[in-house]
Chains A and B, each alone.
Chain A
Amino acid sequence: MKTQTWLIRSLIAATILISANAFADRSLLNVSYDPTRELYQEYNQEFAKYWQGKTKETVTIQQSHGGAGKQARAVIDGLDADVLTLALSYDIDQIAKKAKLLPKEWQKRLPHNSTPYTSTIVFLVRKGNPKKIKDWGDLVKPGIAVITPNPKTSGGARYNYLAAWAYAEKTLGSPAAAKDFMKKLFKNVPVLDSGARGATTTFIQRGIGDVLLAWENEAFLAINELGEGKFDIIVPPTSILAETPVAVVDNVVNKHGTRDLAEAYLNYLYSPAGQKLAAKHYYRPISPELADPKDLARFPKLHLFTVNEQFGGWEKAQKDHFDDGGSFDQIYTP
């Protein structure tokens, strides 16, 4: 008898829960890449507050993080992402091309090529920089262990790779010399993780390697939160501008009836509140005047080049370097 009452009670509870959910306010799924966890945790709360103040509607925002390539593939395979906040435009291009979930011109729909904040690649070294690593050229010296993820699977690693390649091509003068440089560099890489977070773990928790090629925000996170006093950030004189774009997924928001919400969610990234949060979480805001000057002071000045000017866009960079038979495959061919 007792179990029966219990069963009935839980059934009633379940029914209430389900129907409550059905009448609940809307929710959004934001599919992002690895190192944005902390940023969006805070941003989602901030946005929910703003949205409630504006429309009295309570929204739930769900987050999904992972290597950029894996995330894009999940969306192509049917993960119902309302918005994408990925590491590089190539991955969103692929979603537009392969799954046709959003128009090919998606990048023109929001200001600054749909990029509300940018980042770059810096070096994270052990405290005091015992191996004296200052510039990209130091990475190929014998005896230096470099930690970087696999560029085939990680967006961050592709920026790492292109940044090193551009340095080599500029200082050594030819693509052939650059390839040789990259070959030497990857001889110094003892572990290839599949995502940026994995590489950070290898460097920080496992203590492997002398230098981690890292997203700037990931490097700041490492020195401030993961291992205070154990690491230094080294900013090379030149690096790559990592344009991390955002987009609304048209097919999904049409299906969910969440277009207004999704658009507001991304637009709010450009607002003073969004820009402040981006800078707080070590992303370079696209409108620095809106961010806290104290946060901005943390970003060192360096010469940043873009994928477009240096490599003729992502499509070409991907083909030349990361597709099968590209330069990354070539440098590993024995």
Chain B
Amino acid sequence: MQKHQQKLNMRQSHVIQGFAPTLGLTIVYLSLVVLIPLSTLVFKSLQLTWDEYLNVIGNARVIASFRVSFLTALAAATITSFFGFIIAWVLVRYPFPGKRFLDALIDLPFALPTAVAGIVLATIYQPSGVLGQFLQDTFDLKVAYTPLGIVVALIFISLPFVVRTVEPVLQEFDFTMEEAASSLGASRWQVFVKIVFPNIFPALLTGFALSFARGIGEYGSVIFIAGNLPYVSEVIPLLIVTKLEQYDYAGATVIALTMLVASFLLLLLINLLQMWVRKRSGQL
């Protein structure tokens, strides 16, 4: 692998010129779409003193909600990553009848209004629902109206993130590397662990990060299946909406901001991890 020695240089030459206008557009667009709305959030929360801020965030119920949100999003992202990887693998590697159909199914969670997803999932997983009754009778497992229900909803909505990020990388994957490893005497397991997986891992991490971020912020589908009990199954977005409905705009903003910062730090961490993995496996 050849390493590019590149100095930090704003003037770069390309076949198609236009660095300045595209960068300008990028900055304007990002400001309008992301930065201005988010900075409003920051300014609004600046109306509170530090003590008031700590009062809102330190509240036991708020902390419990943070725990519920982060743990369920983490669990869902992990499960989605595992199965999403397998699904992407099957879709890319093997030809079989009905493949196009399966492939199209993956995107449905994107298209469906999340509230509809939540209602449908709650109907199926409730104690008298099709799956809910089965799980209850065989495993004594309650899904709807417990934190487990939140995980189910998040798995549903985050499926496309992993499949769609891993799929193109698998498609581009160079078969000859596998063949070379195999002809040099590597077992199938070794080929997968040493060759395939390290190459897919950064994409998988991206998928994981996207699912996780989506899961933390998810409201529509979760509130229908969560049961929304304080300290048990109340997620952060619901707490924000509850605060708003009590006309507590400052409190809502503070929680939103904290959630944003926490998510941002986590995503940053995942991005750094990704860079590190890429460097180690020689993709950079």
A→B interface (CB under 8 Å): 67, 69-70, 73, 76, 94, 98, 150, 152-153, 189-194, 205-208, 322-324, 329, 332-334
Contacts and interface: CB of A to CB of B under 8 A. Distances in A.
Contact of B242 (A98, A152, A191, A206): A152
B177 to A, nearest CB: 52
B126 A208 contact: yes
Given A207-B126, A208-B127, A329-B61, A67 B231 contact: no
A153 B247 contact: no
Contacts of A189: 229
Contact of A191 (B228, B231, B248): B228
Contacts of B247: 73, 76, 94, 98
Given A98-B247, A150-B242, A191-B228, A324 B59 contact: yes
A205 B126 CA distance: 11
A247 to B, nearest CB: 17
B132 to A, nearest CB: 10
B246 A332 contact: no
Contacts of B228: 150, 191-194
24 contacts: A69-B245, A69-B246, A73-B245, A98-B247, A152-B242, A153-B241, A153-B242, A153-B246, A190-B145, A190-B229, A191-B227, A194-B228, A194-B242, A194-B245, A206-B123, A207-B127, A207-B128, A208-B127, A208-B145, A324-B248, A324-B251, A329-B230, A332-B61, A332-B231
Contacts of A153: 241-242, 245-246
Contact of A334 (B231, B245, B248): B231
Contacts of A70: 245
Contacts of B88: none
B246 A323 contact: yes
Interface in B92-140: 122-123, 126-128
Interface in B247-284: 247-248, 251
Contacts of A76: 247
Top 10 A-B residue pairs of the complex, sorted by shortest distance between their CB atoms: A69-B245, A332-B230, A192-B228, A191-B227, A153-B245, A207-B128, A206-B126, A152-B242, A191-B145, A70-B245
Which of B231, B244, B247 has the most chain A CB atoms inside 10 A of its CB? B247
B60 interface: yes
Given A94-B247, A205-B123, 6 more contacts: A98-B247, A192-B230, A194-B241, A324-B246, A324-B251, A332-B230
A332 B61 CA distance: 9
A188 B166 CA distance: 45
A54 B254 CA distance: 53
Which of B60, B145, B246, B251 has the most chain A CB atoms inside 10 A of its CB? B246
Nearest to A201: B119
Interface of B is mostly: loop
B223 interface: yes
A67 B61 CA distance: 22
Contacts, number: 64
Nearest to B245: A69
Given A206-B123, A207-B128, A208-B127, A192 B244 contact: no
A55 to B, nearest CB: 38
Contacts of A69: 245-246
A333 B60 contact: yes
A191 B251 CA distance: 24
Contact of A192 (B127, B227, B241, B245): B227
A219 to B, nearest CB: 22
A229 B116 CA distance: 29
A171 B15 CA distance: 85
Interface in B198-252: 223, 227-231, 238, 241-242, 244-248, 251
Which of B128, B245, B247 has the most chain A CB atoms inside 10 A of its CB? B245
Contacts of A192: 227-230
A152 B246 contact: yes
Which of A69, A150, A153, A192 has the most chain B CB atoms inside 10 A of its CB? A192
Nearest to A322: B246
Nearest to A153: B245
Contacts of B60: 333-334
Contacts of B248: 324
B149 to A, nearest CB: 10
A73 B248 CA distance: 10
Contacts of B238: 194
B277 to A, nearest CB: 40
Contacts of B223: 194
Given A192-B227, A194-B228, A329-B61, A206 B245 contact: no
Nearest to A318: B246
Contacts of A332: 61, 230-231
Interface in B57-90: 59-61
A17 B230 CA distance: 50
